[in-house]
Amino acid sequence: MKVLVLDPGRQALPFLKSLTKKGHDVIMICFNRFSLTYYSRYPSQKIFWPNYNVYQDKFLECLLDYIKHNQVDVTLALGDVTAEILSKNKSEISKYTKITSPDYETYDQTTDKLKLMQFCMQHKIPCPKTYELSDSSDLNVVSEHLTFPVIVKPRKGIGAIGVTKVSSLEELKVKLTSMRKDFGELLIQEYIPFEQSEQYQAEFFLNGNQEICAGVIISKPRFFPVYGGTSTANLSIKNDEIFSVGKELLQKLKWQGAADIDFILDKRTGEPKVIEVNPRVTAGIKIAFKAGVDFADLHMKLAKNQIIERVQDYTVGIYCRNLILDLLWWFFSTKKMKKETKPSFYKFFGKDVCYQAFSLDDPFTGLGFILNMIYKYSNIKEIKKKIFT
């Protein structure tokens, strides 16, 4: 079958390998020669389209034109923007190719962080206390429900962009106007201290009947920036409570396909709380493949409306690293953090160790990742934002 993969990030690499090894003809969309996946040996064809982060409408035009004039059996969205494009235009795109994206109403319920938190609170699913921070909100009234410091974040956004810790009501009043200008609609949320929490994520896949087909729980021991940012190291684990909460949430959302749920374990209560749901696989999804769960195969079976047998088990203890960011973690972390982190930072080899963007069977993707990082952060302002925000 011909499979069109829309996202050139590191999450695509295990998909490209799995799909190609199963005999599929894989077409990879790249933005330029700095795209990580441009250097993968697995796609049979690589096509340059406009960067959807900048030119979303032009990207959609290219997609519709391509699937109308070429046979494409399945189209896969593995990132936030492409997931939105496919969900928003599902009826039109589905005329020409199979997709696994949810309907836009369901998609919007999860990507609007305020709607998601309200849904969780309404259905008694553990999450941080969250309130709308609109133009008409009475800050004094809102602050009565929360204890400072608090977290203020955009209702929609990717990663930790715009997420701000605010220490007092006075500071909130000072920062609010500029934050609205920079990030649009905001929400205000209970702050859970970094030192009193642990972070996890759960990678789920549900069939068309909203039944769980796979679920992999992942701990996130290190980040960059150090005190909360992108995870630099992941470890596959088992945690029945996180699995149960994630399953309940996704089934109540009537979800289908892949979902990545971020959790924070509040050590003050011992309760895992939902932080957000991403309507796609995580950038570090390679850990699930290495643990024995082939998310590419799950996507293909859902797209073709085939019966999907539940993956009953997976390997615990798989240690997957984003090496460049992990090196930055080491450079900026304290001696105590270096000593106490588990798994050890200094464990670089072993059958249970893998790297998100590097592998011996696809050797040039490491070069692609480095070139992409240089290209992405060549602007000094972007470097400062990543390191110091």
How far apart are alpha carbons 55 and 60 in whole angstroms? 9
Token representation of residue 165: 């810790």
pLDDT over 90 at 385, yes or no: no
**Residues 242-261, mean pLDDT to the nearest whole number:** 97
**Banded model confidence at residue 105, pLDDT cuts 50, 70, 90:** very high
- Model pLDDT, residue 387: 46
Could you report the per-residue pLDDT of 301-360, keeping only the tens digit for each? 999 999 999 999 999 999 999 999 999 999 999 999 999 999 999 999 999 999 999 999
> Would you mind telling me the total number of residues written for the chain in this entry?
389
CA 111 to chain centre: 11
Residue 355: left (phi > 0), alpha (psi -120 to 50), or beta?
beta
Q: So what's the pLDDT on residue 380?
A: 46
pLDDT confidence bin for 228, thresholds 50/70/90? confident
Looking at residue 386, its amino acid is K
Q: How many C-beta atoms lie closer than 10 Å to residue 270's C-beta? A: 8
In Å, how far are 9, 28, 320, 344 from 51, measured between CA atoms? Answer: 12, 13, 28, 37
E strand intervals along the chain: 2-5, 25-30, 45-48, 74-76, 130-133, 150-154, 164-166, 186-190, 197-206, 212-224, 230-237, 257-266, 271-278, 319-321, 353-355
**Tokens describing residue 330:** 């080491």
Q: What is the mean pLDDT of residues 3-30?
A: 98
Contacts of 144 (CB under 8 A, 6+ apart): none
34-58 pLDDT tens trace: 999 999 999 999 999 999 999 999 9
Give the C-alpha separation, 31 to 364, whole Å: 17
What gap in Å lies between CA 145 and CA 126, rounded to an integer?
Answer: 17
Tell me the domains of the chain and their CATH numbers. 2-101 (3.40.50.20), 129-190 (3.30.1490.20), 194-358 (3.30.470.20)
* Sign of the C-alpha dihedral computed for residues 132, 135, 137 and 139 taken in this order: positive
The Cβ of residue 383 has, within 10 Å, a number of other Cβ atoms equal to 12
| Dist. CA 7–CA 11, nearest whole Å | 8
Distance, C-alpha 107 to centroid of its chain: 14
Q: Looking at residue 303, what is its pLDDT?
A: 97
Picking from 110, 89, 22, 10, the residue whose alpha carbon sits closest to that of residue 299 is 22
* Long-range interactions of 339-343: CB distance < 8 A, separation 24+: 341/221, 341/222, 342/221, 343/221, 343/233, 343/235, 343/319
pLDDT tens readout for residues 52-85: 999 999 999 999 999 999 999 999 999 999 999 9
* DSSP type of residue 98: B
